[in-house]
């Protein structure tokens, strides 16, 4: 479909040329127009027929290609129908005219007119479904040995994928592996450098890859390294409710129980009643088993009526019984679980008094499982001691002691990023169970996604899990970036990282659009239907934005492409989104490409669809030059359209190519055309 659109636009569009520009295209076109004039002049002199209509011998080959013939006819029509002038000008149709005066002596007075037009080549050479890894930062010439198969988002076996298997994949060289159709890893993710909220680049990378796998696979089990014992370092985002808030109602009870040595013994119990809030961002209700683990430490000292006080440092662990909770679509659930306790027994002979001090909760962990006992979410809400002075009680032989009730409240900001304790905030306010958390702010500005319309978690535009293979590269923008309210940023190309084999995701503001060069959506290794971003026909690009970008006018898109076009050609399709804050790169197009879109998803839908419909190929274009001679019958040094008659003319057709990494153009085809 895109090819048809491209041809349609080419057949009616002429590229504007600026006479004051140093652009190589203009210099070449002027040269060719002058060459046409010289040919016509030579024909006149050789024929000794200055005042007669003489046409040059046909030296052109037959043009069998209909598109080529239509293109030539279109250019000729524009040239011959344009108004004339006596100076170099550039009209809206992109034609430059010049007049030459041969002599002041009548009757050998004559005029020559030079004119040209240029147009993008409508032919779309086959493009490899490949991305370029230059050999060094200074490498500007694309060699076939530096091209690699793109990763096939649509046909990768996501149901079998793990973080380890994904990272074990390879970038497959395009030429060296003729039987291959896809690389098996995305370098931008494998080389990830940003820490996010995970504490290290490795942890963030693993979390993002797990999120990608769980976005695409069909099961309900989170991709994780959890082994049932040790806390995981990553838990992928499945389409399920997430842990969003927890409130612990606690108190301590100490009682005398005797000891194995015959002396007094004391049991300390920590009673916990948890209330857990889950939030469902999605459009399907879900039932999950909730488990809460709490550990604590404290100091207990003993004494007789007089004498020293032996001191013990003790710990306890408490695990809740399984509780099943159902969370409706796009809503909260807040359940108060059954009270449970953890206990320790202290046995110190000949002591009848005790005192508890330095009581502290050291760990709070919440887990969610599906009905098949697959882990779906895991939160280390607390992993450093919190002192609870209310639990410091004392008593003696034959007596028990109960502490006052105390509460611990913790809230997540972005429930999609809730694995580690730094993702949780201790709340001193009353519980917000069943409503938005006090720290919930989905649109804080700065280096986060744009979510101006979200007031509840399920209104976040990127809160979406497909549970199937991607149908558009724009869906990469749904993948959470392991930091609150950040997803993969397709809006900006990271020019600092560039295209090197070490390039990987870094700061959110720098952008992740580089990933769009490395992915595709089918098994094909080449294609013909695409828009060449290096084409001089700006309307090809604007036609694509009209297809995918609601509210984007052709005029706006053309203006955007003009502003953003660098002097050199784009080296990759994603580099059109290079960050404007970096030196010597084009302006960021994203703000122009989505003038009416507000949310992150709306913006990246345009970017992903447009860019993956494009390629950055060598730029080919046609130049047609026309040289004409006129007898200057009246009005010396002035062309009179109805009186001064063409005595001879010559057209020249040249196909030029500008190569990526080169500042010059080369002649691919050159031919004289007959009328």
8 Å CB contact between 119 and 621: yes
pLDDT in tens, 555-577: 555 454 444 444 457 788 888 77
| Model pLDDT for residues 227-274, shown as the tens digit of each residue | 999 999 999 999 999 999 999 999 999 988 765 555 557 889 999 999
Higher-confidence residue of 242 and 118: namely 242
Q: What is the largest CA-CA distance in the chain?
A: 139
Which secondary-structure segment (H or E) carries 631? strand 619-631
CA pair distance 408, 292, nearest whole angstrom: 13
Residue 538 region by backbone torsions, left for phi larger than 0, else alpha for psi between -120 and 50, else beta: alpha
- Closest among 423, 435, 547, 429 to 480, alpha carbons compared: 423
> From CA 62, how far away is CA 174, in angstroms rounded?
37
User: Exposure pattern of 120-135 as b/e (b: 16+ CB <10 Å)?
Assistant: bbbbbeebbbbbbbbe
The predicted structure's pLDDT at residue 65: 52
How far is Cα 655 from Cα 652, in angstroms, rounded to an integer? 10
Residue 261 exposed, middle or buried by CB count within 10 Å (0-12, 13-18, 19+): exposed
Residue (of 434, 425, 442, 423) closest to 280 by Cα position:
434
pLDDT at 22 over 90: no
> Coil, strand, or helix at residue 80?
helix
Mean model confidence pLDDT for the chain: 76
Q: How far apart are CA 83 and CA 177, in angstroms?
A: 56
- Lookup: tokens for 327: 């969370």
3-state secondary structure of 665: strand
What pLDDT sits at residue 139? 87
The answer on pLDDT for 303 being more than 50 is: yes
Name the strand (E) or helix (H) holding 97: strand 96-101
Chain centre distance of CA 438: 30
**Are the C-beta atoms of residues 647 and 555 closer than 8 Å to each other?**
no
Q: What is the value of pTM for the model shown?
A: 0.78
- Alpha-carbon distance 495 to 88, whole Å? 39
Asked if residue 632 has pLDDT above 50, the reply is yes
Give φ, ψ of 638 to 5 degrees.
-140, 135
Q: What is the pLDDT of residue 520?
A: 95
pLDDT reading at 501 higher than 50:
yes
pLDDT digits (tens, 9 = 90+) for 397-436: 767 899 999 999 999 999 999 999 999 999 877 778 999 9
pLDDT in tens, 199-231: 999 999 999 999 999 999 999 999 999 999 999
Three-state SS string across 315-373, please?
EEEEECCCEEEEECCCEEEEEECCCEEEEEEEECCCCCEEEEEEEEEEEEEEEEECCCC
Which residue has 């370092």 as its token pair? 233
Q: Read off φ and ψ for residue 649, nearest 5 degrees.
A: -150, 155
Please write the tens of the pLDDT for every residue from 65-80.
554 455 455 544 444 4
């Amino acid at each position: 479909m895109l090819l048809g659109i491209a041809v349609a636009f080419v057949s009616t569009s002429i590229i504007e040329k600026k006479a004051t520009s140093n652009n190589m295209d203009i210099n070449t076109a002027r040269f060719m127009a002058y060459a046409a004039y010289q040919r016509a002049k030579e024909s006149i002199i050789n024929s000794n027929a200055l005042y007669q209509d003489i046409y040059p011998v046909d030296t052109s080959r037959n043009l069998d290609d209909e598109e080529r013939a239509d293109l030539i006819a279109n250019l000729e029509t524009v040239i011959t129908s344009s108004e004339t002038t006596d100076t170099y000008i550039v009209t809206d149709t992109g034609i430059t005219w010049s007049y030459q005066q041969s002599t002041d002596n009548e009757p050998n007075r004559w005029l020559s007119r030079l004119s040209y037009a240029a147009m993008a080549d409508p032919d779309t050479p086959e493009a490899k479904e490949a991305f370029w890894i230059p050999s060094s930062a200074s490498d500007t010439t694309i060699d076939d040995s530096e091209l690699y198969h793109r990763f096939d988002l649509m046909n990768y076996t996501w149901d079998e994928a793990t973080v380890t298997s994904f990272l074990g994949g390879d970038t497959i060289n395009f030429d060296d592996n003729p039987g291959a159709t896809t690389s098996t890893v995305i370098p931008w993710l494998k080389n990830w450098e940003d820490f996010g909220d995970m504490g290290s680049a490795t942890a963030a990378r693993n979390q993002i890859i797990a999120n990608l796998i769980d976005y695409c696979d069909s099961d309900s089990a989170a991709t994780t390294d959890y082994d049932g014992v040790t806390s995981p370092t990553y838990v992928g985002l499945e389409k399920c409710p997430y842990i969003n808030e927890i409130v612990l109602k606690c108190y301590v009870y100490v009682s005398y129980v005797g000891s194995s040595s015959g002396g007094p013994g004391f049991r300390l119990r920590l009673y916990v009643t948890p209330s857990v809030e889950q939030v469902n961002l999605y459009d399907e209700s879900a039932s999950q088993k909730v488990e809460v683990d709490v550990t604590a430490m404290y100091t207990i000292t003993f004494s007789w009526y007089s004498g020293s006080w032996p001191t013990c440092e003790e710990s306890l662990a408490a695990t809740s019984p399984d509780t099943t909770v159902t969370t409706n679509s796009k809503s909260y659930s807040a359940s108060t679980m059954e009270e449970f306790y953890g206990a320790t027994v202290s046995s110190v002979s000949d002591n009848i008094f005790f005192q508890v001090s330095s009581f502290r909760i050291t760990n709070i962990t919440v887990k969610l499982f599906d009905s098949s006992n697959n882990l779906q979410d895991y939160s280390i809400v607390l992993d450093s001691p919190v002192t609870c002075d209310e639990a410091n009680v004392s008593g003696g032989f034959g007596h028990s002691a109960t502490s006052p009730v105390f509460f611990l409240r913790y809230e997540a900001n972005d429930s999609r990023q809730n694995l580690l304790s730094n993702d949780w905030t201790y709340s001193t306010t009353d519980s917000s169970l069943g409503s938005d958390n006090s720290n919930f702010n989905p649109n804080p500005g700065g280096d986060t996604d744009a979510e101006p319309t979200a007031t509840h978690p399920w209104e976040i535009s990127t809160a979406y899990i497909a549970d199937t293979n991607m149908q558009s590269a724009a869906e990469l923008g749904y993948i959470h970036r392991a930091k609150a309210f950040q997803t993969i940023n397709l809006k900006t190309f990271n020019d600092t990282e560039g295209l090197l084999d070490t390039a990987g995701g870094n700061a959110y503001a720098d952008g992740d659009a580089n990933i769009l060069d490395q992915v595709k959506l089918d098994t094909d290794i080449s294609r013909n239907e695409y828009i060449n971003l290096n084409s001089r026909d700006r309307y090809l690009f604007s036609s694509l934005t009209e297809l995918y970008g609601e509210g984007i006018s052709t005029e706006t898109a053309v203006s955007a492409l003009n502003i953003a076009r660098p002097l050199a050609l784009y080296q990759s399709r994603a580099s059109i989104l290079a960050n404007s804050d970096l030196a010597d790169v084009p302006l960021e197009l994203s703000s122009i490409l989505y003038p009416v879109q507000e949310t992150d998803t709306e913006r990246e839908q345009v970017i992903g669809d447009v860019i993956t419909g494009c390629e950055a190929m060598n730029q080919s274009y046609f130049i047609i030059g026309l040289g004409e001679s006129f007898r200057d019958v009246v009005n010396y040094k002035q062309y009179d359209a109805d009186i001064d008659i063409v005595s001879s003319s010559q057209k020249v057709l040249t196909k030029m190519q500008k190569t990526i990494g080169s500042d010059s153009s080369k002649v691919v085809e050159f031919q004289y055309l007959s009328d």
